[in-house]
Amino acid sequence: MKVKRRNPAIRIYNHPPVSVTVRSFAKINLGLRIGARRADGFHELLTVYQTIAPHDSIRIQVDRGTGIEIRCVDPRVPRDESNTCYRVVNKAMQYWRAKGRVVVEIEKRLPVQGGLGGASSNAVAALLGLERVLKKSLPAEERLRIAAEVGSDLPLFLVGGTILGVGRGELVYGLEDLPAIACVIVTPGLGVSTAQAFAEWDRQLTVSMPSDRMSELGRGLSAWLSASYSGAPRSGRGRAENPLLELVRAGIKNDFEEVVFPEYPELSEGKSALESAGAKYASLSGSGSALYGLFSSREAARRAVSKLRRQGWAAQATVTLTRREYWKRVLR
């Protein structure tokens, strides 16, 4: 008797539901320069991303049936096809031509529209969880392609640690794994739209040429990197402090502050509050609204948090996550 075979590429997952929980860490931007607006509407970027310890949790479950369900008690998180987790899961399932009902449960602790990459990180965590549950993995290039299609800030979460971001932010290069540093995150209770911040940047497009702005940060980064990698003799005693503090002292800045601070003066005040609480460097992260400060010790960060909270700021002490720690903690 001839057995009719199903298309082998299509699998139906009719095993009992299996679930995996993945930590979805946040990022900050250690400097961000906005370059020219490209023909596709995106802007050239030059930034250094750094993963940090605060995180959401993403639970992935694959069940019988079809479709993707997003669960989240936070009403600000979309539950439809616009959710970044939905989009990534959909693309991965299509790539594998896999069938099954995927449930993505988001436990939200990171701010929404906070500049900490929460939605992007959630999507990457969903993808990693899905791979785990289905015991499948995408080729690395495919994973990066899907991530970049969904948003410029996703690919960084496939690398973790300290990362150079170029292109529209989606081309990511892992930098040397540097020691963790204490930081304080201030999360004002407001959301900033990245698209609107870029639009405002275009409206106000100021003094210097976009390419000059990029080269300026580029030179600072090159000098910092060459001190790390080149082995070239340098003057003085070499690195006396955490290399991340040396990086921010290289004169880096976040261009978004120029358009976001005038619109939300409270954020500029938050940066000043971090500085007067002892931050060695303070900045807006991405297009905000979160601000961060880097501190010389965990104790200094804790003291700053007490001071900031007394002044009414929502602040938390945390640490940066090296690439090694990031991957150790993502899947638990």
Catalytic residues: 27, 153
DSSP secondary structure of 120-157:
HHHHHHHHHHHHHHHT----HHHHHHHHHHH-TTSGGG
Task: Kindly state whether residue 117 participates in binding ligand C5P, applying the rule CB under 6 A.
Answer: no
Q: Which of 43, 91, 108, 271 binds ligand C5P (CB under 6 A)?
A: 43
39 binds ligand C5P (CB under 6 A): no
Q: What number of other Cβ atoms are within 10 A of residue 325's Cβ?
A: 18
**Stretch 197-216 residues interacting with ligand C5P (CB under 6 A):** 198
CA angle 114, 119, 94 (to 5 degrees): 165
Binding test (CB under 6 A) with ligand C5P, winner from 3, 73, 140, 195: 195
What are the φ and ψ backbone dihedral angles of 39, each rounded to 5 degrees? -60, -30
Q: How far apart are CA 107 and CA 253, in angstroms?
A: 32
Dump strand ranges (E) for the chain.
11-12, 18-37, 43-63, 68-71, 98-99, 101-107, 162-166, 171-174, 182-186, 281-284, 291-295, 315-319
Is 115 among the residues that bind ligand C5P (CB under 6 A)? Answer: no
Stretch of residues binding ligand C5P (CB under 6 A), selected from 16-24, 64-72, 181-189, 193-201:
193-201
Using the rule CB under 6 A, which residue among 117, 151, 220, 288 binds ligand C5P?
Answer: 151
Among 169, 188, 220, 293, contact with ligand C5P (rule: CB under 6 A)? 169
| For ligand C5P, the closer CB: 151 or 188 | 151
Binding region for ligand C5P (CB under 6 A) out of 98-106, 137-145, 148-156, 182-190: 148-156
The site string for ligand C5P over 59-78 (x = CB under 6 A, - otherwise) reads --------------------
The site that binds ligand C5P (CB under 6 A) totals a number of residues, namely: 12
Measured from the CB of residue 80, what is the shortest distance to ligand C5P in angstroms? 16
Residue 260 CA, chain-centre distance (Å), reads 19
Instruction: Establish if 152 lies at the interface with ligand C5P (CB under 6 A).
Output: yes
Q: Tell me whether residue 105 or residue 153 sits nearer to ligand C5P (CB atom).
A: 153
Q: Does the protein bind ligand C5P through residue 45 (CB under 6 A)?
A: yes
The answer to whether residues 183 and 293 touch, using CB atoms and an 8 Å cutoff, is yes
- 153 lies in the binding site for ligand C5P (CB under 6 A): yes
Burial label for 258, CB within 10 Å (0-12, 13-18, 19+), is middle
For residue 164, state whether it binds ligand C5P (rule: CB under 6 A).
Answer: no
Binding piece for ligand C5P, criterion CB under 6 A, among 53-61, 145-153, 226-234, 318-326: 145-153
Distance CA 318, CA 301 (A): 8
Which amino acid is it at 320?
Answer: T
Q: CA 56 from chain center: how many Å?
A: 12
Is residue 90 within 8 Å of 81, Cβ to Cβ?
yes
Is 120:148 a contact under the CB 8 Å cutoff? Answer: no
Beta bridge partners of 12: 99
For ligand C5P, the binding residue among 33, 168, 280, 323 (CB under 6 A) is 168
Is the CB of 29 or the CB of 61 nearer to ligand C5P? Answer: 29
First to last CA, the chain: 48
Shortest Cβ 230–ligand C5P spacing (Å): 29
The least distance separating ligand C5P from the CB of residue 211, rounded to whole angstroms, comes to 15
CB-based contact 127:86 (threshold 8 Å): no
Question: Which CB, 192 or 300, lies closer to ligand C5P?
Answer: 192
Footprint on this chain of ligand C5P (rule: CB under 6 A): 41-43, 45, 151-153, 168-169, 194-195, 198
